[in-house]
């Protein structure tokens, strides 16, 4: 794997922190008609999250600006929120301003879990993990789940209606910021059924997989 693209990806999301919510929520400079079906699937994933039992301590990987951290606060007493981009962490902290969230900056490709959690969650991150690094990442995330705890993954599925443009060289995209700067990032539409099988091989049961036109949500319980 060419690590330069991983460095560009991290730099891109650090630089994009102030634009991220606008692009996802179609506000500010991104205002447009929107796609109601996309909004409906996003909200459906949030509702699936609310049906989970309330937990003591959640771990959110690639927490970004806090769009999902604020949802996790509804079902978590405490959250450890991890991201590689300091600007994302700063935006998240300023937005939520919650003493129940502890922030940690870490390169997720080098990160190692230091404990176990009731819930491990990551949304719209797995598509930025190259295929050759995916098994090791899933193993690390799985190791952070305590027995009886859950892992929840949400992202865009392989074979779905892709929202972020074409993929180049099988796993790359070019992204442009408002100021015209361009970056190369990893973008892979993983098959959620492959993720399910990986989790099953790691001892997870009670698999609950939902696949929509644009997004998927996968929940599993660790034995």
Q: What's the pLDDT tens digit per position in 71-122?
A: 999 999 999 999 999 999 999 999 999 999 999 999 999 999 999 999 999 9
Rounded mean pLDDT of 147-167?
91
Between 2-16, 67-81, 161-175, the lowest mean confidence (pLDDT) is in 161-175
Sequence spans of domains, the chain: 3-222
Integer Cα distance of 32 and 200 in angstroms: 41
Distances (CA, A) of 177 to 67, 69, 174: 20, 24, 10
Residues sharing a CB contact under 8 Å with residue 158, sequence separation 6 or more, in sequence order = 189, 190, 191, 192
pLDDT above 90: residue 196: yes
Contact between 212 and 41 (Cβ < 8 Å):
yes
What are the residues facing 45 on neighbouring strands?
Answer: none
CATH homologous superfamily of 3-222: Vaccinia Virus protein VP39 (3.40.50.150)
Q: What is the dihedral of CA 59, 112, 85, 198, to 10 degrees?
A: -70
Query: What are 20-36's pLDDT values in tens digits?
Result: 866 665 444 444 446 89
115 CA to centre of own chain: 20
Confidence of residue 210 (pLDDT cuts 50, 70, 90): very high
Longest dimension (CA), the chain: 48
The whole-number pLDDT of residue 26 equals 46
């Amino acid at each position: 794997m060419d690590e330069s693209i991983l460095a560009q990806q991290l730099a891109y999301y650090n630089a994009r922190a102030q634009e991220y919510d606008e692009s996802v929520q179609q506000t500010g400079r991104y205002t447009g008609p929107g796609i109601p079906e996309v909004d409906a699937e996003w909200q459906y994933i949030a509702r699936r999250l609310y049906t989970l039992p309330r937990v003591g301590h959640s771990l959110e990987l690639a927490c970004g600006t806090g769009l999902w951290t604020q949802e996790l606060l509804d079902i978590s007493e405490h959250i450890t929120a991890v991201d590689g981009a300091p600007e994302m962490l700063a935006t998240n902290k300023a937005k939520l301003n919650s003493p129940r969230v502890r922030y940690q900056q870490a390169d997720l490709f080098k990160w190692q879990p230091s404990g176990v959690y009731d819930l491990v969650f990551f949304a719209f991150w797995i598509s930025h993990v190259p295929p050759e690094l995916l098994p090791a990442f899933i193993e690390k995330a799985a190791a952070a789940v305590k027995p009886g705890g859950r892992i929840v993954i949400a992202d865009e599925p392989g074979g779905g209606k892709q929202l972020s443009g074409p993929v180049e060289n099988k796993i790359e995209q070019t992204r442009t910021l408002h100021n015209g700067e361009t970056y190369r990032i990893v973008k892979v539409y993983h098959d959620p059924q492959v993720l399910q099988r990986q989790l099953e091989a790691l001892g997870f049961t009670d698999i609950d997989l939902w696949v929509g036109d644009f997004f998927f949500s996968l929940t599993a319980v660790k034995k």
